[in-house]
Amino acid sequence: MKLLDELAEILGQQHVLTGPDAAKYSIDWMKKYPSDPLAVLRPANTAQVSAVMKLASASMTPVVPISGNTGLVGGTQTRGALMISLERLNQIREIRPQSRIAIVQSGVILANLHDACEQHGLTFPLFFGARGSAMIGGNLSTNAGGSNVLRYGNTRSLALGLEVVLPDGTIANLMSELHKDNTGFDLKNLFIGAEGTLGIITAAVLKLVPKPRAYATAMVAVASLPAALVLLNRLQDETGGMVEGFEFMPRTYLDRLKLILPALTPPLGYDRDMTILVELGATAPRDVAPLEDGSIPVVNFLEDTLGALIQENLAQDAVVARSDAQRMAMWKIRESAAEIIHSRKPNVDTDIAVPLEKVDAFLEIALRRLKDIDADAETITVSHLGDGNVHFTIWPTRDDAELLDALRNMVDETAVDLGGSFSAEHGIGLSKLGSMARLKDPAALTTMQKIKSALDPDNIMNPGKVLP
């Protein structure tokens, strides 16, 4: 009680939440990882975060940072820790159009940043279904991916600088606005992807890019995944890298879409074995200025390229979006993946990445190995095919912990066997600790633990996550 009283003096009593007031923070959106925090704290600025961490450090009280709580791996679950919500650190401090940077606090909601940048003809090119609630701090802490990684990279590639409160309350000012800085270790990248185990990110300097002035978007039925890569590479070569999204939805995904969200009708129907959602984003006047007939050059280019691939039997059919409404309807089908995948329980939801040319092999091997473990299990797959990230979900025949672990281990091991990763964009949290222990290079794990011990010797920052 003394600790809570001291925290109330720093934050105000109304921002130290316990009991029923803390309930909404105590369950993740999947309702899979319930928490029972000592209290939920709502600091208003970096100085208050620092003061809270000094108290936590002195009392050796565990701390778990929380942003939009849209994670999938249990990264914010806790029992008895102080949960620090960053929702009040929600200011967009500056947008600098000439430098193409945004300086923001970590509680800024991703969609709000998109809206603010749009006024300047710019965008922060991180997009995924939860952007209406996910916050920048969480995006950075998990090194979030999404549908535009192919062109712009993941969150780590989009950050120039950070402000971080360390476990002892020290404020590390790493808010560089530089694209080049060779003054020692790149500490910024140490905290990005650390899932709050090394400190609390309170602000960031983010890269912005010109918002495309025209999009060319299509649903394409392809003959095979190798044929899809031919399409991807041809588009990249002939547009100078304008491909923004390249998403794979096989028949298993469309079957479940029809059952769960029947109002979202795929333009090519439900009976396609392999459907690709492809999008080009153009900014140059030559690509976006309407022609005499009203058509848009970049859209014409995509249509011509798809027509040629159909003639070569590499694509079977295609529908090109003719309006923004049609484009958004196509993306709605893809961005409903979380709702579709988690509409059935139990499930084993995985997040692997393999080299692009090995996605086909991964699916073939994983399906074969699945039959040896649970012959009647069903699967549903969706993939950011352009960067090799596959969400291969299994619906097992029974809700048995040993079976679920065996299935997850099989998927992760198959990815690693092919030179891939068992976590592409969701992080480690709790759910992938076993895979970290078994599959991560031992020297890498030892190095990570030394860094953790150096920065957080009392292990108060999000304990029990990431490191087995």
Q: Give alpha helix (H) positions in 105-187.
A: 110-118, 136-142, 149-152
**245 within domain boundaries:** yes
Q: Are residues 76 and 107 in the same domain?
A: no
Which amino acid, residue 246?
F
Confidence of residue 394 (pLDDT cuts 50, 70, 90): very high
- Local structure of residue 211 (DSSP, 8 states): P
Confidence of residue 28 (pLDDT cuts 50, 70, 90): confident
Same-domain check for residues 296 and 267:
yes
Chosen domain end from 210, 244, 278: 210
Helix (H, G, I), strand (E, B) or coil at 355: coil
For the segment 192-208, what is each residue's pLDDT rounded down to a tens digit?
Answer: 999 999 999 999 999 99
What's the pLDDT band for 31 if we cut at 50, 70, 90?
confident
Answer yes or no: do 142 and 68 share one domain.
no
Which pLDDT tens digit goes with each residue over 346-376? Answer: 999 999 999 999 999 999 999 999 999 999 9
Q: 90, 68, 208: which is closest to 142 by C-alpha?
A: 68
Pairing of strands 39-41, 82-85: parallel
pLDDT at 168: 98
Domain that holds residue 252: 214-337
State mean pLDDT over 439-445: 97
Q: What is the mean pLDDT of residues 156-176?
A: 98
- In this structure, are 348 and 333 located in the same domain? no
Check whether residue 118 and residue 102 sit in a common domain.
Answer: yes
- CATH number of the domain to which 57 belongs: 3.30.43.10
> Which pLDDT score, from 0 to 100, does residue 432 have?
95
Is residue 317 within 8 A of residue 207, CB to CB? The reply is no
Query: Per the structure block, which two tokens stand in for 343?
Result: 């509409």
Q: Report how far residue 273's alpha carbon sits from residue 254's, in angstroms, rounded to the nearest whole number.
A: 9
Query: Residue 40: what pLDDT?
Result: 98
Q: What is the mean pLDDT of residues 37-58?
A: 98
Same domain, 96 and 190: yes
Separation between Cα atoms, residue 320 and residue 330, nearest integer Å: 10
| Structural domain contains residue 276 | yes
Residue 30 in this model has a pLDDT that exceeds 80: no
Residue 37 lies in a domain: yes
Give the pLDDT band (50/70/90) at residue 108.
very high
Q: Please, which residues have CB within 8 angstroms of residue 379's CB and are 6 or more apart in sequence?
A: 252, 367, 370, 392, 393, 394, 395
In the chain, what is the straight-line distance between the N-terminal and C-terminal CA atoms, in Å? 32
What pLDDT shows up at residue 392? 97
**Is residue 315 in some structural domain?**
yes
Same domain, 283 and 389: no
- 145 located within any domain: yes
- Residue 16 forms beta bridges with which residues? 41
Would you say residue 446 lies in a domain? no
Percent of the chain clearing pLDDT 90 (strictly above)? 96
| Contact of 327 with 217, CB cutoff 8 Å | yes
Number of Cβ within a 10 Å radius of residue 210: 15
User: What is the Cα–Cα distance from 200 to 399, expressed in whole angstroms?
Assistant: 36
CATH number of the CATH domain containing 316? 3.30.70.2190
Question: What is the pairing mode between strands 348-349 and 389-395?
Answer: antiparallel
- Indicate the number of domains in the chain: 4
How far is the CA of 464 from the CAs of 242, 273, 377, 459, in angstroms? 41, 41, 31, 9
On whether residue 443 sits in a domain, the answer given is no
End-of-domain residue from the set 193, 210, 227: 210
Do 118 and 78 have their domain in common? no
> Same structural domain for residues 236 and 271?
yes
CATH number of the domain enclosing 414: 3.30.70.2740
108 and 68 together in one domain = no
pLDDT tier, 246 (very low <50, low <70, confident <90, very high otherwise): very high
Please check whether residue 259 lies inside any domain of the structure.
yes
CATH classification of the domain holding 107: 3.30.465.10
Same domain, 356 and 381: yes
Helix 46-59 and helix 2-11: axis angle, to 10°?
170
Q: Looking at the structure, do residues 385 and 282 belong to the same domain, yes or no?
A: no
User: What percentage of the chain carries pLDDT values higher than 70?
Assistant: 100
Residue 120: per-residue pLDDT: 97
Q: Is the pTM of this model over 0.85?
A: yes
Task: Write down the pLDDT at residue 32.
Answer: 86
Both tokens assigned to 452: 């953790």
Q: Which of 52, 85, 118 is the last residue of a domain?
A: 85
